[in-house]
Structure formats: C-alpha cells, structure tokens
Amino acid sequence: MKSGSGSETGRPAIRETRHRRLSNTMQLSYPPHRRQSRAVKIGNVIIGGGFPVTVQSMTNTDTRDVAATVAQIKALEEAGCDIVRVAVPDEDAASKLREIKARINIPLVADIHFRYQLALEAIRQGVDKIRINPGNIGEDWKVRELTSAAKEAGIAMRVGVNSGSLPDDILEKYGAENPEGFVEAALRQVAILEEKDFHDIVIALKSSSVITTYWAHILLAEKVDYPFHLGITESGTLATGSIKSAAGLGALLINGLGDTIRVSLSADPVEEIRVGKAILKSLELKKEGVEIISCPTCGRCEIDLINLAEAIESKTRHYKTPLKVAVMGCSVNGPGEARAADVGIAGGKGFGFLFKKGQIIGKIPADKMEQVLLEEIARLTNGK
C-alpha cells in the first residue's frame, strides 16, 4: 500500500489515532456520546446535530418509470425508510424527479455520476439533496457551479468518496484502499464547497472493506464536523452483506460516529431498511417495533423453536411500539435468561410457559403458544 506521509506501512495517522483513543479509554461513558456534528436539513428530515440516526435506501427501479419507482418508494416508506435515493442516468430520468417527489412522503435524493448537468437539472426539479462523487464529476469548476445552484435552492449535497471514484493523483499517492487517501479526497472536495460558503454537507466514505471504511471515518472525524452517511458499499447478498454491514456500521456507531446509514445489499431494497433498523435497535439507537430475543436451541429444546421464532418475528414486523419479545426453547432456563424481555414464551414437552419480565404468568398447550404470544403482543402494543 502506498503512503502519502513517508511511512512504509502507509498508516501512521491511524496508529496515532488508535493510541490516542486507547489512552482515553477510562474517560469513556456508557452509553457512548455521539459525535457532535452539525445539523443538515434534508427535506423534512434533519441529519446530524444530535437528531436520531436515520435509515436510507436506494431504489433499483428505472427512474424513468415513475409508477414503478413510486411504488417501490411507498414500500420503503412502509418499512420505515427515512430518506430515499434514486439514480439519475440521463435527462429523461432527471425530468421525472418532480413528479416522483410529489407522490412520496419522504425526502428525495438524486444520485449523480459524471454528468454535472444532470445534477443541475435535478436541483431545478426540486429534489431535497444531491449526491455526487466529486472524483467522477470532473473539473473543479463544475463542482463549484453545482455548489452555487444547491446553495441558491437551499438543498444539501452529499460528498461521496469510495475506492471507485478516487482522483488519479490520490490513487497514485495512496493506492485504492488507504483510509488516508479517502480522507484527503473528501477534504479536497469539501474545501471547494466551503469556498462558496456552502456548509449543508453530508460526507460518505465508503469501501467494500470494513477496515478501510472504519479508519477513514475515525481519521476524518477529527478534522470536520459535518454529519456522516455510513455504509459498506457493495457489501454482498442479504446474508453476507448484512453481517458485513453490521460489523462496519456497528463499530462506528458504538463509537458515536454516524448520523445516517444505508445498508447496501444485493437484495430487495426493503431488506436494506429492515437490516438497518435492526442494527440501530441492537445498539439501542432506535427504540421502535418488536425486538425478538430467541435462544440458539440445544438438546434440551422440545419445541419447534426456529419456526416459532421466525413466525413471531414475521407477524410482528408492522408494530411500531417498542417491545422486547422472547421465544425460548427451555422451560427451565428460558424465563431467567430472557428476563429483560417484556413478554415471552418458554417451551416444554407439550406445553409452554408465558412470562413477563422473567416471571411466569401462565402455562399453555404447545399448539397454542404462537397464538397466545401474538395476542399478548397485540394487547401490550394496543395493536400498533
């Protein structure tokens, strides 16, 4: 790996940052403090500034097909998407943005590559934010022109940096996956925006490498106060991509970094929202909906726990009320191990125990466990 700072390893700043953070370990508090980023308004949503971490996705429909695109956005809205992005590959797609925006209820972001004229048209169409990778927009004057247009329209811009869009000189200096190269590329483009007195900026440093993504944000956090859009780009399929994203985003979020997230999956975009919300809920950054606590099963399990847990999870996804629900396979240890749950079931041979906060409140037949637990969940949430 090449270095721009004279080190043979190319990561002196990372080592220094790691040592500084480790030396401050005793000063950490629980829960960890979130980084104090500036607030940036995206339509009716605010990113940063201490506001809740938002979850984003991107449509995979042809943006020129307004009906299909709106239908997918509606599905994303229903799943809990806070902000949605659409690809703008040509003038025809750009011309449809106003109509799409008029038919949805969440902020609309235009995703632009290479052709800055499309970004200008998207701004005229009234989108809530422009996403560009300055490295593939071209000459600085084009970025300056976009910045002036965004400032006049009062909309934000996201500066996106990833290994596929690094400027040639930075690639030559650092290589493709050096976090310091990501930071330098981002700072270079932010400086152009700041020259125009533009500060409604969101920064994304994305790599398919969890390590590169993590350290790029750690380094940049010490240099700017703009909100961060987190994501592990091209993370993979639903299963592997969810794991990779949870590892990368979780590491940053638990360190207080990150103001909005997108889980990039080779899957239905709705799955990106489900996984993103699950990551936030697991870190106690989002208190919404049913959280399932279930055991991994063992030789003591005497019920079809896996199918029962999956059934409860799928049938309670629509609830918004925060609730911890346990599905445990052992009537001996289940209630105690899941005492943090608001309500739960622990199976035995031919029966199950219904419990609340670890206290058993009833014994029910095995074939009624799913029904009884669902009824209790509905009662505790008032069906919402």
Using alpha carbons, list the distances in angstroms from residue 250 to 178, 240, 244, 254, 256: 21, 15, 10, 6, 10
CA distance 317 to 327: 15
Output the pLDDT for position 5.
45
Question: Structure tokens of 42?
Answer: 């995206």
Hey, what CATH topology would domain 12-282 get?
TIM Barrel (3.20.20)
Output the pLDDT for position 19.
47
Instruction: Compare 162 and 70 and report the one with higher pLDDT.
Output: 70
pLDDT band at 25 (very low <50, low <70, confident <90, very high): very low
Contacts of 178 (CB under 8 A, 6+ apart): 1, 2, 3, 4, 10, 11, 212
Amino acid at 2: K
Domain 290-381, CATH: 3.30.413.10
For 314-337, the DSSP string reads HHTTT--S-EEEEEES-TTTHHHH
Query: What beta strand segments (E) does the chain contain?
Result: 40-42, 45-47, 54-58, 83-87, 108-112, 129-132, 156-162, 201-206, 229-230, 260-262, 290-294, 323-328, 343-347, 351-356, 359-365
Question: Structure tokens of 84?
Answer: 């949605």
Please count the residues of the chain. 384
In the chain, domain spans: 12-282, 290-381
Output the pLDDT for position 288.
87
Rounded average pLDDT over 226-235: 94
Intra-chain end-to-end CA distance of the chain, in Å? 53
Question: Structure tokens of 316?
Answer: 């309670």
Output the pLDDT for position 163.
79
pTM of the model as a whole: 0.85
Helices (H), 133-237: 134-137, 140-153, 168-174, 179-195, 210-221
pLDDT single digits (tens) 321-366: 999 999 988 766 666 777 788 999 988 888 888 988 878 888 989 8
Question: Structure tokens of 267?
Answer: 């899957």
